[in-house]
């Protein structure tokens, strides 16, 4: 067996692609190694959501390029290591294509996000010392090809299953529509099969993935098979397991979807609804299709209909032109809508996007950093507030990991509503559902005692 090492950056979409690529590679005689120095094939699956993520990708492969050069120079002495191959994949690859070779001439292949199923062909070519760039855009999903290969899922309790690829929203700050293309839904039967396979393999949670999961199915044959229907069909699969879905675009969440989520026993009380900014004027500039009031109504409805729901969000600090007052509206939104947790980021200009052209409105780095920090502090404060609500309650936890902390063994897992719970217990309960009484709350987790 040859060995492959894949470094995965970015979101779950990339992690899911990596699992698919490992599946294909195992078919062609490659096994995964966690040790890059032992690999015959080194691959990086890149993210370009912010400039920093893109820069990280290039600095990581610089070291690999050096290894390759040294191995070639050492020739016979290193025998099997004279033929290291390097692949550059993912969102930066899709966006930059052939340019990658200029910047990193030691790269053997560039593979974008649209054609990951071209990997077997690519491997054949690079083993014949060809150089390959496969970054053409497709308007189709690759479901037919997906059927041919296994997925080498990262061991754990949660299986991620993409249901849509791409995005049509073109928020003015975001590069995803350029790196992942137009929105396309995967076929229900393929998704259900992948879920069943994951359950057969022992996974206890299925998370459906998409940039905008609520638009699932719009582009399928008759357009009537939507997320709610998919959830119903997945809920019918046998056994005890949980279902989640991310990410929801605020205005696309339908009453039917919320109602379905309430009615189905396996679908969890968790909605990730990125708001991005608390200011209606900034939201308009971002090309988000809602204002503060509309977002407020959606959150209120979800909270009313779904008892104990956790609502999380994403926010950007320092979007071009954001005033101090508008930034403060983001802080008050987190409080007012009692957002349980939020991912936050400082605005990073991205090539091709509309907002990147508003150079004269860029917020100075130092101010952006301070806003980012203030946003983080607000998130922390609200997270603790949210966690404190659950002290004294009985909750069901799905254990995800078992480790030692300060001389004690801890089982760590999630409640249905996505709260992390640490349970002191000598026995490894990974993969089990346990009922606990919440005995304490910290900023990032709850403490639980088995009952």
Residues that bind ligand SF4 (CB under 6 A): 167, 169-171, 174, 176-177, 211-212, 249
User: Nearest distance from residue 238's CB to ligand F3S, in Å?
Assistant: 32
Residue 13 touches which of ligand F3S, ligand SAH, ligand SF4, none (Cβ within 5-8 Å per kind): ligand F3S
Closer to ligand SAH by CB, 86 or 176: give it: 176
* CA neighbor of 109 nearest in space, from 145, 61, 63: 61
CA distance 209 to 213: 7
How far apart are the C-alpha atoms of 333 and 292, rounded to whole Å?
8
Alpha carbon distances (Å) from 141 to 24, 107, 137, 145, 206: 17, 27, 11, 9, 20
Q: Does 247 bind ligand SAH (CB under 6 A)?
A: yes
- In the complex, the smallest distance separating the C-beta of residue 47 from ligand F3S, rounded to whole angstroms, is 3
Interaction of residue 260 with ligand F3S, rule CB under 6 A: no
Supply the minimum distance, in Å, between the C-beta of residue 279 and ligand F3S: 24
> Which one of ligand SF4, ligand SAH, ligand F3S, none interacts with residue 164, CB within 5 to 8 A by kind?
none
Residue 179 lies near ligand F3S (rule: CB under 6 A): yes
* Residue 171 in the binding site for ligand F3S (CB under 6 A): no
Q: Looking at beta carbons only, is 64 or 319 nearer to ligand SAH?
A: 319
Residue 243's binding partner, choosing from ligand F3S, ligand SAH, ligand SF4, none, with beta-carbon cut-off 5 to 8 A by kind? none
Of 81 and 272, which has the nearer Cβ to ligand SAH?
272
In terms of Cα–Cα distance, which of 190, 198, 118 is closest to 151? 198
Rounded CA separation 47/243 (Å): 26
- CA dist 159 and 434 (Å) reads 19
Q: Which does 314 bind (CB under 5 to 8 A by kind): ligand SAH, ligand SF4, ligand F3S, none?
A: ligand SAH
Which residue is at the shortest CB distance from ligand F3S?
A: 10
DSSP class of residue 359 equals G
- CA 250, distance to chain mean position in Å, is 18
Select the residue interacting with ligand SAH from 81, 96, 186, 350 (CB under 6 A): 350
48 makes contact with ligand F3S (CB under 6 A): yes
Q: At residue 364, what are phi and psi to the nearest 5 degrees?
A: -55, 145
CA distance 168 to 155: 32
Least Å distance between CB 289 and ligand SF4?
Answer: 10
Q: Which is nearer to ligand SF4, 205 or 252 (CB)?
A: 252
Residue 255's CB is within 10 A of a number of other CB atoms, namely: 10
Give the containing element (helix H, strand E) for 412.
strand 408-415
Q: Tell me the closest approach of the beta carbon of residue 213 to ligand F3S, in angstroms.
A: 14
Q: Residue 350 touches which of ligand SF4, ligand F3S, ligand SAH, none (CB < 5 to 8 A by kind)?
A: ligand SAH
Residue 46, Cβ density class (10 Å: 0-12 exposed, 13-18 middle, ≥19 buried)? buried
Ranges assigned E (strand) in 216-340: 242-246, 270-272, 310-317
Contact footprint for ligand F3S (CB under 6 A): 10-11, 13-14, 47-49, 91, 175-176, 179-180
């Amino acid at each position: 067996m040859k060995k492959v090492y894949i470094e995965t950056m970015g979101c779950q979409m990339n992690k899911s692609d990596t699992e698919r690529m490992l599946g294909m590679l195992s078919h062609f005689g490659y096994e995964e190694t966690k040790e890059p120095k032992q690999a015959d094939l080194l691959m990086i699956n890149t993210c370009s959501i912010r400039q920093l993520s893109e820069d990280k990708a290039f600095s990581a492969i610089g070291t690999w390029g050096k290894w390759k050069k040294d191995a070639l120079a050492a020739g016979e002495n290193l025998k099997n290591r004279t033929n290291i191959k390097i692949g550059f994949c993912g969102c930066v690859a899709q966006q930059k294509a052939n340019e990658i070779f200029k910047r990193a001439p030691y790269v053997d292949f560039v593979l974008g996000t649209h054609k990951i199923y071209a990997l077997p062909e690519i491997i054949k070519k690079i083993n014949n010392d060809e150089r390959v760039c496969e970054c053409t855009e497709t308007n189709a999903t690759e479901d037919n090809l997906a059927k041919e290969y296994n997925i080498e899922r990262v061991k754990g309790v949660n299986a991620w299953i993409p249901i849509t690829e791409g995005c049509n929203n073109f928020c003015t700050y975001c590069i995803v529509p350029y790196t992942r293309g137009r929105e396309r839904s995967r076929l229900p039967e393929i998704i259900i099969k992948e879920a069943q396979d994951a359950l057969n393999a022992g996974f206890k949670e299925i998370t459906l993935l998409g940039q905008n999961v609520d638009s699932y199915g719009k582009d399928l044959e008759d357009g009537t098979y939507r997320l709610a229907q998919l959830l119903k069909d997945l809920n019918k699969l046998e056994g005890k397991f949980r279902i989640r879905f991310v990410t929801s675009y605020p205005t696309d969440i339908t009453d039917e979807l919320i109602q379905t989520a309430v009615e189905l026993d396996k679908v969890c009380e968790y909605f990730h609804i990125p708001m991005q900014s608390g200011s209606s004027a900034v939201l308009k500039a971002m090309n988000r299709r809602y204002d503060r009031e509309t977002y407020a109504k959606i959150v209120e409805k979800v909270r009313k209909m779904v008892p104990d729901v956790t609502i999380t969000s994403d926010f950007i600090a320092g979007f071009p032109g954001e005033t101090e007052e508008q930034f403060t509206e983001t802080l008050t939104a987190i409080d007012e809508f009692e957002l349980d947790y939020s991912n936050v980021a400082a605005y990073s200009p991205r090539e091709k996007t509309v907002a990147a052209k508003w150079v004269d409105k860029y917020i100075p780095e130092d101010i952006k950093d301070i806003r980012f920090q203030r946003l983080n502090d607000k998130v922390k404060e609200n997270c603790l507030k949210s966690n404190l609500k659950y002290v004294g309650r009985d909750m069901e936890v799905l254990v995800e990991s078992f480790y030692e902390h300060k001389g004690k063994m801890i089982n760590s897992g999630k409640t249905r509503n996505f709260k992390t719970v640490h349970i002191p217990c000598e026995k490894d309960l990974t993969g089990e559902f346990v009922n606990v009484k919440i005995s304490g709350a910290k900023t990032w987790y709850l403490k639980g005692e088995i009952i």
